[in-house]
Amino acid sequence: MTIELSGVIPPLTTPLTVDGGVDAESLERLCGFLLEAGVDGLFVCGSSGEVALLSDAQRNRVVEVAAGVAAGQVPVLAGVVDMGTARVVDRARDAAKAGAAAVVSTPPFYVKPHPDEVVRHFRLLKDAVDVPVIAYDIPSATHSPLPLRALEEIARDGTVVAFKDSSGDVDGFRSVLTATADTQLRVFTGSETVTDLALQLGAHGAVPGLANVDPDGYVRLARSAAAGDWAAASAEQDRLRRLFAIVDVADRGRIGFTAGALGAFKAAQYLRGVIESPRCAEPLLPLADTEIASIRALLEEAGLPVAR
């Protein structure tokens, strides 16, 4: 099975009900909100989707809802992140059955895999499912970086069709583009703040968490870049960089980085009227009312309509 990937593919948050279940109605609205902005795909159950905190049943439900809303308009990518190959394969088979057009995996973690073991992981995953496989590098979360040598090998033999880089290493990202330039690998940046730079370097697209809040901005940025209007892309990036300050409003002496960042995305979506509750999955603690008020001010400064 082949898949064409490019452009802006937001990594969706996972809206939750007040009792912690998947809020399917809010998720449907979120998918519609993103599709209306002109995004090129939907990536569910990624880091922004709190994949590490969702049950298997919740993951499957999220994929089903997103695939139902997308209805073939754009591909739905499903994160199948887990500690080891056997668990990832199980998650991938479930995601494919639920309607995912492709599955997204990090290298194994908790263990410290050798590059050859990382290659083996992705090859076993590819052999286990009938949908394309995408590699994902986010060492800040997994503490298991995806070695360039391993990525180059699985790109050259077609084991993976795309790569999402959330390492934060711009020079490393450039090395990936250089090393895989003569392959079919589609390379995406996960950065919110240097998206324009990544596209100028040759990235095929972006998977920025902030696109949950302002998908129109990232679509404008990508379209300006595609047209070679780097001044417009840079101006849009500057505005989005200022908006990204929402992830820093939380008191990190009270809650952790993930709760502060994902809580900010969800609070912004709540304020924009897209989802019904800004709560994150357990055990993440909620933002305070004063912090949500600060997010409201940043949304208004960015020129975004606020419904609540």
Q: Do the domain assignments include residue 285?
A: no
3 state SS of 162 = strand
**pLDDT attached to residue 259:** 98
**Domain tally for the chain?**
1
Residue with tokens 């999220």: 62
Q: Is residue 262 part of a domain?
A: no
Is the residue at 24 inside a domain? yes
Per-residue confidence (pLDDT) for residue 201, from 0 to 100? 98
CATH number at residue 71: 3.20.20.70
162: in domain:
yes
Query: pTM of the predicted model, to two decimals?
Result: 0.97
Picking from 96, 60, 93, 79, the residue whose alpha carbon sits closest to that of residue 11 is 79
Asked if residue 247 is part of any domain, the answer here is no
**Predicted local distance difference test score (pLDDT) of residue 4:** 87
Domain annotation covers residue 34:
yes
- According to the model, what pLDDT value does residue 1 have? 66
**267 in any annotated domain:** no
Catalytic residues: 136, 164
- Which one-letter DSSP state was computed for residue 170? H
> CA torsion 194→202→262→242, rounded to 10°?
20
Helices (H), the chain: 24-37, 56-70, 85-98, 115-128, 139-142, 148-156, 170-179, 195-201, 215-226, 230-243, 257-271, 289-301
Q: Are 61 and 99 in contact (CB under 8 A)?
A: no
* Averaged pLDDT in 10-residue chunks for the chain of 308 residues: 90 96 98 98 98 98 98 97 98 98 98 97 98 98 97 98 97 98 98 98 98 98 98 98 98 97 98 98 97 98 96
Token match 């379209």: residue?
A: 223
3 state SS of 42: strand
- Residue 170 domain flag: yes
Domain enclosing residue 81, as ranges? 7-231
Q: What is the pLDDT of residue 85?
A: 98
